[in-house]
Amino acid sequence: MALLITDDCTGCDACVAECPNKAISPGSVIYLIDPNRCTECVGAHDEPQCKVVCPADCIINDPDHAESRDQLQKKYESLR
């Protein structure tokens, strides 16, 4: 499942550098996560690094982009 940044985002920029897939970018108001690039850090880390560093705790699972761990791993491999 890809991740989603909620409206609670403060725009602190902490998550951008932590994303191994360059899936996070600034939006018009809050940061956005590209579901085509987000693998929840599967293949790179044990847990989503953006969630680890987010001081606003505003990164959640995106219910519109449900994927299994195997699907996330394949997506990660295709991005390399």
Domain spanning 3-79, CATH architecture: 2-Layer Sandwich (3.30)
The pTM score is 0.91
| 19-74 residue pLDDT tens | 999 999 999 999 999 999 999 999 999 999 999 999 999 999 999 989 999 999 99
- Can you tell me the mean pLDDT for 1-15? 94
d(CA 1, CA 60): 10
d(CA 17, CA 19): 6
Element (DSSP H or E) covering residue 75: helix 69-79
**Amino acid present at 55:** P
The residue extents of the domains of the chain are 3-79
CA distances (Å), origin 47, targets 7, 28, 39: 22, 27, 10
pLDDT of 10 reads: 95
